[in-house]
Amino acid sequence: ASDEITPSLLKNIEDSRIAIIVFSKGHASSSFCLDELVHIIHYFEEKGRLVLPVFYDVEPSHVRHQNNSYAEALAKHETRFQNNNENMKRLLKWMIALSHAANLSGYHFNLSFS
């Protein structure tokens, strides 16, 4: 399927020394992006490599605790995944990776000027 990570992308991730993950409001709506995040967090942690999160117009706490747009997107995935244990395990991995990545030191770009 087109929403699966290709072996060549996995290899490129594994060959990288630094991963920069850009979190935006729509990030969690993409199962592809979430699967990629899980692979990056798992592999880079195992190898002791640098992961740098960038929060683009989204609060790090919304990513960490899956609030706001992240809660909405994950709820939609959960509805889609009901009655499928493998996909529910995948959802749990996404949530853990989101929390983990949001706890890393990174950059926060807030576009609102209020």
Distance of CA 108 to the CA centre of its chain: 16
| Rounded (5°) CA angle 73-19-89 | 40
Catalytic one among 4, 14, 36, 78?
Answer: 36
- Is 36 annotated as catalytic? yes
Q: Which of 11, 34, 14 is nearest to 24 (CA)?
A: 34
Residues classed as catalytic: 36
